């Protein structure tokens, strides 16, 4: 099962997205960062539900606090977390909301995001510091998550204890969530592609 999870992440790797590559290079316009903070925050706001979905209420409580950090990121860009207007981001939120209802599906869907978060957070943090003149509060969410390897490890352990059928459900959820995460970034990029340097 672990090999299949990692293959899904490899296939839809978020660091390979044009959005994150442009962010790292400093060629992504601030308007794109603003849209991302506003819209993607609607997905970030659901992460706690995913942890609640398999009974980890302690981690869910921590994730609710982290939404405030994302709010600070949005505020630094002159916006706030809001309902997504981009179709792929809205679909990502709907997909997460559905998968986060069940035990096995919440584990797999969360893994798609949490396993990538340390690397993406580090990349985004470095990009912000190197290329964007934003208040320090824009960096907090990413600074906190850049070395967060504990959560993906926990998710893997919990998936390994599932039945064979449940593991299949988790792996399917991971694949779909990986695809939805990447599609959201791709559409956000396309909205601003004409302004990328």
pTM of this structure: 0.95
30-34: long-range contacts, CB 8 A cutoff, minimum separation 24: 30/77, 30/132, 31/192, 31/195, 32/188, 32/189, 32/191, 32/192, 32/195, 32/196, 33/77, 33/132, 34/74, 34/77, 34/78, 34/79
150 contacts: CB under 8 Å, gap ≥ 6: none
- Percentage of the chain beyond pLDDT 70 is 99
**What pLDDT was estimated at residue 53?**
95
Q: Which two tokens stand for residue 102?
A: 């069940």
Domains in the chain and their CATH numbers?
2-195 (1.20.910.10)
In the predicted structure, residue 197 carries a pLDDT above the cut 80: no
In this structure, are residues 158 and 170 in contact, taking their beta carbons and an 8 Å threshold? no
In the predicted structure, residue 1 carries a pLDDT above the cut 90: no
């Amino acid at each position: 099962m672990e090999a299949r999870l990692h293959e899904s992440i490899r296939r839809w790797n978020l660091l390979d997205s044009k959005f994150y590559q442009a962010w790292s290079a400093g060629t992504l316009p601030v308007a794109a960062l603003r849209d991302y903070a506003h819209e993607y925050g609607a997905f970030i706001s659901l992460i706690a539900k995913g942890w609640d979905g398999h009974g980890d209420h302690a981690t869910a409580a921590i994730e609710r606090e982290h939404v405030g950090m994302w709010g600070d990121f949005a505020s630094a860009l002159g916006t706030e977390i809001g309902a997504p207007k981009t179709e792929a981001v809205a679909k990502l939120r709907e997909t997460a909301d559905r998968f986060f209802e069940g035990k096995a599906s919440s584990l797999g869907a969360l893994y798609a995001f949490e396993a990538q978060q340390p690397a993406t957070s580090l990349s985004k943090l470095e990009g912000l510091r190197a290329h964007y003149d934003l208040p320090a509060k824009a960096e907090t969410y990413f600074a906190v998550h850049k070395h967060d390897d504990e959560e993906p490890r926990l998710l893997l352990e919990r998936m390994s204890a599932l039945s064979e059928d449940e593991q299949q459900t988790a792996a399917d959820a991971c694949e779909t969530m990986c695809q939805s995460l990447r599609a959201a970034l791709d559409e956000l990029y396309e909205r601003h592609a004409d302004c990328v340097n």
